[in-house]
Amino acid sequence: MQFIRRSLIGIFLLAVTLALFAWAGNTVRLAVQERMNAEPRSFPQRERVLSVNVVTVTPQTVAPELVVFGQLDSANTLGIRALSGGTILEVSENFVDGGRVSEGEVLVRIDARDAQSARDRVAADLRDAEAEKRDAERALVLAQDEMAAAVEQAELRQQALTRQRDLEQRGVGTAAATETAELALSSARQAVLSRRQADAQAQARLDQAATQLSREQLNLADADRVLADTEILAPFSGTLADVSVATGVRVTANERLGELIRKDDLEVSFRLSTAQYARLVGEDGNLSNADILVTLEAQGLTITAKGQISRESALVGEGQTGRLIFAKLETSAALRPGDFVTVTVTEPELRGVARVPSTAVGANETVLVLGDENRLEEVEIELVRRQGDDVLIRGRETYGRQIVAERSPLLGQGIAVQPIDPNAETVAPEAPEMVTLAPDRRARLVAFVEESRMPPPVKTRILEQLEQDEVPSDVIERLEERMGT
């Protein structure tokens, strides 16, 4: 019996245990079904508002600037060469690299003995030519006198023949006398022809003498020039470079001795793209004389000079593009030929454009304009120029309105933003209202701060404020809100 009783008790406990497991499983099943069938909880969502920097689009008249690189060169450079060969006898003390010389200064003197001898020989030949001309002139005068005498003699013979024929007609003269007069007239005429030929020869001799005199005068001028070329003079004031000459050295004609540079007369050459060049061309198709600014920066030192465009190269150049432009500088202090400089070219003025940061314009040439309720609107604009970190734009819909200065992928059409204008006037905050605390109220606030979990620096600062006779009202309000009073 005891065995049956224990078995029944075991069976009972097992049944109770199984019943409890079934009840628990059913409870879990019902809870899961209720959770799954229940409507999801909805939390109120607040729209995210981003803070953005804005700028006001103000149309104005702007003269854009082109920034390119160029190289300085002297507008007046002369290669000094030996015009005649010989030995150098004298060199100016200023004829060195970097030496400054004045206009007309003797730079180099070459041995002039050979040139002087040649000049003296030509001068002697000139004197002979002058003497020959004088002799030819005298001979011409004598030939003309002899021809005049022969003509006079022929006229007398003609008169004698006429008189003899008259006597013969009257029967007084004889035929023999008439024939003798005719022969004498013929001889006189022959003498006239001989004198004319002598006069022509004298005239030809005079012409030859004049030609020879002119030739000798030209030879003398050449000899004087060769003699003068033995002294090399400075044609203008400037600075010397690449000097390679010394006393006693023998030079040949046209040998290079150095280079004279007028450093105060500089010009800059720079290359523009075809589009940039087109902006500087006027309505008549000619390049405008735009103003430029040359800048040379070296170790924190900035050297500037103003100038004006003077001309352009006639050729593009092999393997090059664009246009090569030359500009003449007004001042060139501290600048030297060969300097690599930055050139800023002022373009013609543009009307009705606004200057805004380049980050305000998207890749599709649009800007985000601040609309109603501070919501963004995407507006198309015309991108006119890029000026460093800024751009020049046109867009009538944007004039006088604020646009986003720095676009980001988070910004777009219809998004609400909080505008921040860096150029707006800063309004000083009003001083907080000060309140005098009652002792019991002060004690409650101090006890709350001491028992709170504030950071030690914040707790110390607030306690110092509470110990004052007057406490800012905003501090009291924040503490009492936390206390729940």
Q: How confident is the model over 238-265, as a mean pLDDT? A: 83
Q: Under a CB-based contact definition with an 8 Å cutoff, are residues 49 and 410 in contact?
A: no
Q: Under a CB-based contact definition with an 8 Å cutoff, are residues 109 and 89 in contact?
A: yes
Does the pLDDT at position 270 exceed 90? yes
Residue range 134-154, pLDDT digits in tens? 888 888 888 888 888 888 887
Pairwise CA distance, residues 5 & 1, whole Å: 6
Residue range 22-33, pLDDT digits in tens? 888 888 888 888
Q: Could you give the count of Cα atoms lying within 13 Å of 401 in the half-sphere of its Cβ?
A: 20
Residue range 272-303, pLDDT digits in tens? 988 889 888 877 878 888 889 999 987 778 88
pLDDT of residue 40: 57
pLDDT tier for residue 342 given thresholds of 50, 70 and 90: very high
pLDDT tier for residue 457 given thresholds of 50, 70 and 90: confident
Residue range 217-229, pLDDT digits in tens? 999 998 888 888 8
Give the predicted TM-score (pTM) of the model: 0.59
pLDDT of residue 437: 77
pLDDT tier for residue 1 given thresholds of 50, 70 and 90: low
Residue range 116-139, pLDDT digits in tens? 888 889 889 889 888 888 888 888
Q: Under a CB-based contact definition with an 8 Å cutoff, are residues 417 and 51 in contact?
A: yes
Q: How confident is the model over 456-481, as a mean pLDDT? A: 81
Does the pLDDT at position 251 exceed 80? yes
Pairwise CA distance, residues 366 & 405, whole Å: 12
Average pLDDT, the chain: 83
